Amino acid sequence: MSGGDGTIFARRGIPGVINAAGTLTRLSSGPLAPGVAEAMREADAAAVEMEALQAHASGVIAAATGAEAGLVTAGAAAGLLLAAAACLAGLDVARMNALPKAGRRNRIIVARGHRNGYDHALRAAGARLVEVGLPEPAAGAGCRDTEACDYAAAITGRTAGILYVSTPDAAPPLAAVVAVARAQRIPVIVDAAAELPPQSNLGAFIAAGADLVVFSGGKVIGGPAGSGILCGRADLVMSAALQGLDADVAWGDWTPAPGFIDKTRLKGLPRQGIGRACKTGKHEVIGLLVALEHFIAEGDAARHARWLARCEAVMAGLAPSRAALHIRNASATDRIPVLELRLADAGAAAGLARALRARPVPVHLARDPAAPDCLLVNPVALRETEVAPLIAALLSG
Ligand SMILES: *Cc1c(COP(=O)(O)O)cnc(C)c1O
């Protein structure tokens, strides 16, 4: 069964695809980790209080990340929205109910070089983004990127938080931003959606002093596509939880899970909040937790070996082709190995990518803006059954 016939999509007349491009949302993300689909089905067999389920999830996520608390969200972007909502409203119920009207203290500072489409999620919660710094290397016009002092200069009484988008070479270092933020008691939100592997990153940003960190559940963790993790300071996670829950209950009857939501710190119960529009159900929460536990149990080395074997299988099958083949990160067990096909030039690579997408069962490969003459086979979302059809497509392309 490949991306073609026999699938539930084929039976409905929906064209399938072969995804060698990675866990892209538009290509329906990657496969679920072993046991996740079964756990989601099992979760279907009984009812549960979502607060109790999220309180349990908080413990699992805290143990995995070193954070005080955690929440399963409807993806990393949902986590960013809830993180912003927590920074804007804190534990003030009236402020929660008013979002996305956030009042005066509504600014979230972000380095210009960290801006990306996902930061719309913070604006959706009511934040106004304030850009700082200059990514001069990106402009080819200097050697300095944003510096910690740029953040310091931008902090005012209207600042609700700082957004830091993590990549392996993000500038300035997170620790420097945290030092500036701590001095002024401003929370730092880290978007680490795609920063796994290495597995050690589950705890690295919390250890570096981030107040809130988001991870995608639908990327290498292997959870449902619509799942993610928000973890960090207990009071901020509590605020995020309150703004995502559906606690349609009288104050006197409300007995939230102790240790997760502290009722004594609240003046009332917020209504369905800004996060209610990106709700998570029990299936996603259980699915994410089982995926996270599997992710931790498997470990970087075994995961890398599994991905590398898939790259090597494709590489072996492509021996007759004229493309120059090379596996990136073949020995970097804390990275994702990818098979690189180097073509004559950027035009040849773009042409082959187009031809592959135009096949009866479209084939999607990854691209690297820094190497436009290359196509990349990313093994993370590639099913074993798709290896042979992928090879055949590449050989005929
Ligand atoms: C993928 C990604 C997101 C969104 O993650 P979802 O779980 O799909 O919502 C956000 N930020 C960055 C940097 C990402 O790479």
Q: What is the DSSP string of 117-158?
A: GGGHHHHHTTPEEEEES--HHHHTS-S----HHHHHHH--TT
pLDDT tens sequence across 316-350 = 999 887 679 999 999 999 999 999 999 999 999 99
pLDDT tens sequence across 209-232 = 999 999 999 999 999 999 999 999
* Residue 325 β-bridge partners: 341
Q: Please name which of 302, 245, 303 lies closest in space to residue 57, comparing C-alpha atoms.
A: 245
pLDDT tens sequence across 21-43 = 999 999 999 999 999 999 999 99
Residues in contact with 354: Cβ distance below 8 Å, sequence separation at least 6, in sequence order: none
**Which portions of the chain are predicted below pLDDT 70?**
1-5, 322, 397
The rounded Å distance from CA 333 to ligand 1 centre is 22
Contact at 8 Å (CB) between 36 and 291?
yes
Q: What is the DSSP string of 255-273?
A: -PPTTTS-GGG-SS---S-
> What is the model's pLDDT at position 1?
45
Q: Which atom of ligand 1 is nearest to the CA of 165?
A: 13
Q: Which atom of ligand 1 is nearest to the CA of 78?
A: 9
Give the single-character DSSP code of 90. T
Q: Is 213 in the pocket of ligand 1 (CB under 6 A)?
A: no
Q: Is 216 in the pocket of ligand 1 (CB under 6 A)?
A: yes
Q: Is 25 in the pocket of ligand 1 (CB under 6 A)?
A: yes
Q: Is 224 in the pocket of ligand 1 (CB under 6 A)?
A: no
Give the single-character DSSP code of 112. G
List the residue whose alpha carbon is closest to atom 5 of ligand 1.
76
pTM for the whole thing?
A: 0.97
> What is the model's pLDDT at position 258?
87
